[in-house]
Amino acid sequence: MDRADMGTKGSGGACGVCGGRTYLIERQGDLAHARICECSVQCKVCGGRGHVLGQQESTFSKKVGPRTYDVLMPCSCTLRQKRVARFNAVGLPGVVAHSSFDNYIPAKTQQDKARSAAMHFAHHYEKAGGNKGFVLSGPVGTGKTHLLAATLAHLVLEVGVGARYVEISLLYATIRRGFQEGKSGGEIIGPLSEVEVLAIDELGKGRGSPFEMETMDELIARRYNAHRTTLFATNYSLEPERKATRAVAGYHSTDDAKTTLREAELLRERVGERIYSRLCEMCTFVELPKDTPDHRRTRHELEPRGHHAHAKIRATGR
């Protein structure tokens, strides 16, 4: 049953709050949280029973042939509740609770291509399987996590797909804490290996320690071997080879040198040949230009200076 069924058969209609989706996504603490809109809490179709009477055609006797029978079927409100509960288990950060394809504003043409790639994946996802994921690469603040969130929200709430989101460095931290509690890394990686669609953010981030490399390799290997769909976002270039760079004359600070060196790093170098090779088969690569502006920094710089001063006074209590 798709969203049209959920909206028209439920009590949402053309609600001015949810726009007929029958659910809302809000920030609740550190996570994005979905809930049923007030317009659909009381289902007008089933009266709160959770099921409706429908018809089903079956053949129990070749002599009699196909017959139509009345059967009890789950109401759309039951499906809606299950999808909302499933979304709340995804683990999306609260900061991207309101992220959607509609409110993603590209600053460059290539950004629009990234949105188109994510939208095409989400709207053409086949539940039967065989879906190729994508890797979004680009500088910080260019909306990669925004697109991951929009994709997962559509898949879970509109298509009914099971999904999870993980930020790679937080996953490493979770596994380390698990070690202290007597858990193995496999106990934490196991559920992530089996989920239908997994989004891994900040791929390549970390110190590149043996623990981190082994964890990442095991997770991606499990999903690769099981033919499961995985989405990625990274700040590192997807280019297969490092491009030659010319030294620029003049004074440069140590920080400038470090930034230049970091920007020149390739995802291939950060994750190793084995993982990179699998990514090439598992995903479509989409790379944003290095000069794509950081929308958070741009928004900050466009705000009136008085706003910053007021915020600082309010934060310090002066």
Distance CA 143, CA 99 (A): 9
The gap from C-alpha 287 to its chain's centroid, in whole angstroms, comes to 17
Report pLDDT for 163.
98
pLDDT over threshold 90, residue 157:
yes
pLDDT over threshold 50, residue 113:
yes
**Size of the chain, expressed as the number of residues it contains:** 318
Q: What amino acid occupies position 122?
A: A
CATH 3.40.50.300 in the chain is located at 95-241+255-298
Distance CA 192, CA 190 (A): 5
CB-count exposure of residue 304 (10 Å: 0-12, 13-18, 19+): exposed
Asked if CATH classification 3.20.20.450 holds for the domain at 95-241+255-298, the reply, yes or no, is no
Helix 185-194 / helix 168-180 crossing angle, nearest 10 deg: 140
pLDDT over threshold 90, residue 72:
no
Q: What is the pLDDT of residues 257-269, one digit of tens each?
A: 444 455 568 999 9
- Mean pLDDT for all residues in the chain: 84
**pLDDT (average), residues 291-312:** 58
Report pLDDT for 11.
42
Distance CA 179, CA 314 (A): 41
Q: Is the Cβ–Cβ distance between 11 and 45 less than 8 Å? A: yes
Q: What is the pLDDT of residues 7-55, one digit of tens each?
A: 333 444 578 999 989 999 999 999 999 999 999 898 888 877 777 877 7
Is 222 or 184 the better-scoring residue by pLDDT?
Answer: 222
Report pLDDT for 71.
80
Q: Is the Cβ–Cβ distance between 203 and 234 less than 8 Å? A: yes
Decide: helix, strand or coil at residue 197: strand
Q: What is the pLDDT of residues 127-151, one digit of tens each?
A: 998 999 999 999 998 999 999 999 9
